[in-house]
Amino acid sequence: MPTTSEVIVQSVFSFIVLFILARILGKRQVAQLNFFDYIVSITVGDIAASWSLDNIKGIHAISSLAIWTVLSLIVSLIQRKSYKGRIFLDGRPSVVIQHGNVLEENLKKSNLSIEEMMMMLRQKDIFKLSDVEYAILETNGTLSVMKKTELQPLTPKDAGIPVISENESRLLIIDGHVMEKSLQHSGYTREWLLGEIMKQGASDFRDVFIAQVDSNGNVYVDLYKDVQKEPPMKEKPLLAATLKKIQADLEMFTLQTENRLAKQTYGEAATHLKNLITQIGPFLRE
């Protein structure tokens, strides 16, 4: 039976040996993990399994796990603080296709076959080598690919088409409950939100399973199944919802503008519209 000191020495030695083996095997063997994570995961799992199933002293298992934990922390610190340390531990990315030409020597150094490279290209919907300008085998075993310029997707910027920038979308209703803070931060009111969900077949907030608004004011609404089977909203309630939305928009414009005349105009219009909705509201019900 080994002593505790022997277990510690063996743990350090096994770490070094496994690290060297992982580097020899190449990047493709570690998939989404870097070399160190690969080593730690298989070794710690083996130690835990041996502790559970074999006749191993608890102090020995704990000592070995502690050594691997300390080594993990040390290596993580080196990776964060030292560029040269990262290169030594993780290696460098390897260019396997350059200017459309396959670099056979780099494939051999990375222990990657042409069939494996083609499989990784197909996973990115690329079936012809002639479509590839650059391909780089990253240190985590994944393949990054840049298509030739004429084959890259056309963007609105390339076509000179102006687009509206989008920001964070917000959930406004969850399980029939209005998210008041989210609604407030979005700059909308409950009246506006009620109008939007009524357009899509809901009669109340409780009919909505989830509702989300994007930065352009477009609202996605998902209703409960029993509500989805109901007939579409009729014209009069739809008109009422539209008027409430316009009122809410005018109130929002009042808060947003710094122009005194515009603020006064928006406010008066919102008040008049509110009074109008109160007067004709009973006649817009079905």
pLDDT in tens, 15-63: 666 666 555 555 544 444 455 566 677 777 777 667 665 566 667 667 7
The CB-side HSE value for 227 (13 A sphere, CA atoms) comes to: 19
C-beta neighbour count of 68 within 10 angstroms: 19
| pLDDT confidence of residue 27 | 52
**How far lies 79's CA from each of 74, 82, 115, 154, in Å?**
9, 6, 32, 38
The CATH architecture that domain 94-151 belongs to is 2-Layer Sandwich (3.30)
Q: Which CATH superfamily is domain 170-284 in?
A: bsu07140 like domains (3.30.240.20)
Q: Measured at the alpha carbon of residue 118, what is the angle toward residues 136 and 96, in degrees to the nearest 5?
A: 25
With beta carbons less than 8 A apart as the criterion, state whether 91 and 23 touch: yes
Consecutive 10-residue averages of pLDDT for the chain (286 residues): 65 66 53 58 71 64 75 77 76 87 89 88 91 88 89 78 74 92 88 88 89 88 66 66 85 88 90 88 74
Q: Is 233 left (phi over 0), alpha (psi -120 to 50) or beta?
A: beta
| pLDDT confidence of residue 29 | 47
pTM: 0.49
Q: Measured at the alpha carbon of residue 235, what is the angle toward residues 229 and 241, in degrees to the nearest 5?
A: 90
- Spatial CA neighbour of 230 closest among 201, 191, 260: 201
